[in-house]
């Protein structure tokens, strides 16, 4: 068994691998195995790996399973104490693993952690996909310590303390293998987007901790698979977020939250249509809500199981306010501006 298995899921990412994989291999140390799982790419990814990165272990998947199920398929063949899910567009830094492993080894009740994510395009700024740890509001909208919606803060050391978070980014996620497998891993039906938040929520409901360890830092390109404004990304984000809420919201909250979310989702859709002039994103939101209504019944038994297994009533990092209200009405653009009353 490996102590740490770094697993990079690749799909048409030969250029990213060529550019950023050397930093992973050079800075990961002894006793760490690096795997690249390929989601049936037809570019030269596999040839590149065999010719230039022979020290990597290759996992060839039979089709493009997407991010979530692709990782589940890949990790099924990996024997390690810790999995480290790493995007192909991540540049790591010297000794980046040590703070993560040290923290996990000394905190057996913690299931997962993440490093601080900075932008590779602007190294003094946080990166959108995870910044310095993830949280959600009462209606399921995610935000980060260092990034709320499209406002990304400069990294000035203001969030350098270790902190318990609600979700850790899937771009660089260290997770205890036993805990990952206990909850069934990522939900493969999500394909991509919100899958790491869903995973962390299920872990948190079992009383497990999730942390950000900013002493470890990595640089992320971001948008390596889908651009920020993309109808497919919009569809997956809305559909998966609603599904996650249905799976994990407490019984006392689910009806009220879902009613308010329906209103907020339609407001967002019309904003995309009328203000952003994006009819395709408008249709993506409508499609997401239709699809959620259609497949919700497929998650009924899983929701019942999650509710029965839940060991905690209140989870730190799920805040009892609307981030939309805080951001758009009160004008709080930075994480440090927010009221820190846990919900």
- Confidence at residue 222, expressed as pLDDT on a 0 to 100 scale: 84
pLDDT of residue 223: 59
pLDDT at res. 312? 93
Check residue 31 and give its pLDDT.
85
The helix/strand/coil state of 207 is: coil
Q: Is the pLDDT of residue 86 over 80?
A: yes
pLDDT tens sequence across 298-321? 999 999 999 999 999 889 899 999
DSSP for 225-287, written as a single string? SS-SS-HHHHHHHHHHHHHHHHHHS-HHHHHHHHHHHHHHHHHHHHHHHHTS--HHHHHHHHH
Maximum separation of any 2 CA atoms in the chain, in Å: 56
pTM of the entire structure? 0.95
Q: Does domain 2-220 have CATH number 3.30.70.260?
A: no
Position 151 scores a pLDDT of: 96
Instruction: Write the CB contacts of 178 (distance below 8 Å, at least 6 apart in sequence).
Output: none
Q: What is the pLDDT of residues 147-174, one digit of tens each?
A: 999 999 999 999 999 999 999 999 999 9
Confidence of residue 106 (pLDDT cuts 50, 70, 90): very high
pLDDT bracket for residue 227 (50, 70, 90): low
**Residues 38-77 pLDDT 10s:** 999 999 999 999 999 999 999 999 999 999 999 999 999 9
Tokens of 49: 């790996």
User: What percentage of residues in the chain have a pLDDT greater than 90?
Assistant: 94
Assess whether pLDDT exceeds 60 at residue 120: yes
For the chain, give every residue range classified as CATH 3.90.550.10: 2-220
Q: How confident is the model at residue 342 (pLDDT cuts 50, 70, 90)?
A: very low
**Section 263-291 average pLDDT:** 97
Per-residue model confidence as pLDDT tens digits over 87-100: 999 999 999 999 99
Q: Pseudo-torsion of CA 180, 227, 156, 323, nearest 10°?
A: -70
Confidence tier at 224 by pLDDT (50, 70, 90)? very low
CB 81 within 8 A of CB 177: yes
Q: Decide if pLDDT at 228 tops 70.
A: no
What pLDDT score does 154 carry?
Answer: 98
Token pair recorded at residue 321: 């306010």
Q: Is residue 122 predicted with pLDDT exceeding 80?
A: yes
pLDDT score of 101 more than 50: yes
Q: What is the tens place of the pLDDT at every residue in 250-263?
A: 999 999 999 999 99
Q: What is the pLDDT of residue 225?
A: 39
Whether residue 30 is predicted with pLDDT greater than 90 in this model: the reply is no
Q: pLDDT at position 343, please?
A: 35
């Amino acid at each position: 068994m490996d102590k740490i298995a770094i697993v990079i899921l690749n799909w048409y990412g030969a250029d990213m691998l060529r550019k950023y994989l050397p930093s992973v291999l050079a800075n990961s140390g002894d006793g760490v195995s690096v795997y690249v799982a390929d989601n049936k790419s037809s570019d030269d990814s596999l040839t590149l790996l065999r010719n230039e990165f022979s020290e990597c272990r290759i996992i060839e998947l039979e089709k493009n399973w997407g991010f979530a199920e692709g990782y589940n398929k890949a990790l099924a063949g990996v024997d390690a104490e810790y999995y480290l899910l790493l995007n192909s567009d991540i540049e790591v830094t010297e000794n980046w693993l040590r703070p993560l492993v040290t923290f996990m080894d000394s905190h057996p009740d913690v299931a997962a952690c993440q490093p601080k994510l900075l932008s590779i395009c602007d190294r003094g700024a946080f990166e959108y996909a995870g910044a310095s740890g993830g949280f959600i509001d009462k209606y399921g909208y995610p935000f980060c310590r260092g990034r709320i919606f499209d406002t990304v803060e400069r990294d000035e050391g203001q969030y350098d303390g270790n902190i318990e978070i609600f979700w850790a980014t899937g771009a660089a996620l260290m997770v205890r293998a036993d805990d990952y497998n206990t909850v069934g891993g990522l939900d493969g039906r999500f394909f991509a987007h919100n899958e790491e938040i869903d995973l962390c929520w299920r872990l948190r409901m079992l009383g497990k901790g999730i942390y950000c360890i900013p002493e470890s830092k990595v640089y992320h390109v971001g948008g390596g698979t889908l651009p920020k404004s993309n109808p497919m990304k919009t569809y997956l984000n809305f559909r998966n977020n609603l599904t996650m809420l249905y799976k994990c919201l407490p019984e006392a909250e689910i009806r009220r939250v879902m009613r308010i979310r329906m209103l907020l989702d339609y407001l967002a859709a019309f904003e995309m249509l009328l203000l952003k002039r994006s009819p395709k994103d408008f249709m993506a939101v409508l499609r997401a809500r239709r699809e959620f209504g259609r497949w919700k019944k497929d998650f009924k038994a899983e929701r019942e199981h999650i509710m029965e297994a839940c060991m905690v009533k209140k989870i730190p990092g799920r805040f009892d306010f609307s981030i939309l209200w805080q951001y758009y009405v009160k004008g709080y653009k930075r994480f440090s501006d927010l009221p820190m009353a846990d919900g």
